[in-house]
Amino acid sequence: MQEYEDPCQIHVQISSADRPGILAEALKSVVSFDWDVLDIKQFVFNGLLNLSLLLGSKKPNSILKLQAALDKWSIENGISLQVLPWEKGLRPEARYKYRSVVTLLGPNLSSEVFLHLTQIFSSRDINILRIEQLDYSDHHVIEVVIGSKEDHSTVDILNALVKFKEKFTVDIAVQEDTMFRRNKRLIVFDADMTFLQCEIIDELGKIAGVGSRMREITHRAMSGELDFKLALCERVKLLKGLSVSQLEELYERIPITHGAEDLVRILQYLGYRIGIVSGGFQFFIDRIKNNYKLDYGISNQLEIIDDKLTGRVVGDVVDARAKEQALISIAKQEGFSLKQVVAVGDGANDIHMLARAGLGIAFNAKSIVQRHANAGINQSNLELILYFLGINGKEVQELREVSKSNPKSDW
């Protein structure tokens, strides 16, 4: 589109029942009077066309003739048309330097939900630039692009939405509206209570007959009340004497989180690299990695002598900082920016990993974790992550089908 140093600019707003040819008809007059299209936006909502043209010309004396031609055409065709003056300083990209995308996901996003959300934005001088519905089936998903003159970080916006999330059953993601939002390339999962629907160490505790003591330590560690490394070593001591066959038996009955298989299959089809970085045990992570053809699996190594656990961990403990460094290392190895990384976890030892990723998702997480992530899902369905990646419901359905032909999906 042609640029002018100081063109006369007008905004032409057209609305009508949609049909083929409306834009072509309008452009006949634009071309006839030697005006140029500087910007154009069009969308169809429920059969109603909304079309905006920003026109520029160095021949402002032709503006009345152009308007007369457009008015005649619109009256003859039953089209609503407005021609308005336009100043450069009023263009949205100049007024709203800082842009974010807020995704809302819930069973039903009522009008009261929208009222409270828009009031929160308005009270902070944040303007809504675009709203798009991604799905309205089993899940109601809305994507809202917002802009502001001041630098409202994703953390500021999430903090403003704390009471909103408490009042309504809704999951929220807040991301910067940059080229990286829909260009994620790597996803890293925590294992226990994220990719898996159990705490493996607690299940091992039951087998060892120390279930209640194990659960107590795990709960305090995941809530950030205990140092993770010390808590892990204390719990592993309780497992001394368990056999490899008992570990194998437990692996066979570990429940995978709902939606995990479809999510992995779809992301593999889309070319994502996928890994698990866990504070759990390599014995189980290796099997999950191989079973689902994941690219990475990093966890703690249990010491095994004569097919029995010794009650010790071999090597460095994979704690919160180690998980963060693993995410950074994988991204660097793959040549991805951290802005292209998604991290998913639920415990206090996931906080640093979530904070480093371009999109950090607290999945059914403790409150301390939700405060440090820019997205949260409080439903037991990992496939919902796709909406936070900007994929709509129709695309999800199509990807479910086409991804089944992906060679990696033959599990």
- Residues identified as active-site: 190, 192
Contact between 83 and 11 under an 8 Å Cβ cutoff? The reply is yes
Q: How far are the Cα atoms of 209, 264, 279, 379 from residue 359, in angstroms, in the given order? A: 39, 17, 20, 18
Q: How many residues does the chain have?
A: 411
Tokens found for residue 279: 């504070």
For CA atoms 297, 359, 132, 90, the dihedral sign is negative
- What stretches of 292-340 show up as alpha helix (H) in DSSP? 320-334
DSSP structure string for 34-88: T-EEEEEEEEEETTEEEEEEEEEES-GGGHHHHHHHHHHHHHHHT-EEEEEE--G
Query: Which DSSP state fits 336?
Result: -
Contact between 18 and 47 under an 8 Å Cβ cutoff? The reply is yes
Q: How far are the Cα atoms of 26, 37, 108, 140, 384 from residue 173, in angstroms, in the given order? A: 40, 35, 17, 14, 11
How many whole angstroms separate alpha carbon 275 and alpha carbon 188? 5
Let me know how many helices (H) and strands (E) the chain has, helices first.
17, 15
Q: Of 116, 103, 98, 102, which is closest to residue 153 (Cα–Cα)?
A: 98
Q: Of 243, 255, 275, which is closest to residue 200 (Cα–Cα)?
A: 255
How many whole angstroms separate alpha carbon 346 and alpha carbon 323? 13
Amino acid sitting at position 105: L
Q: If DSSP codes are grouped into helix, strand and coil, which group holds residue 397?
A: helix
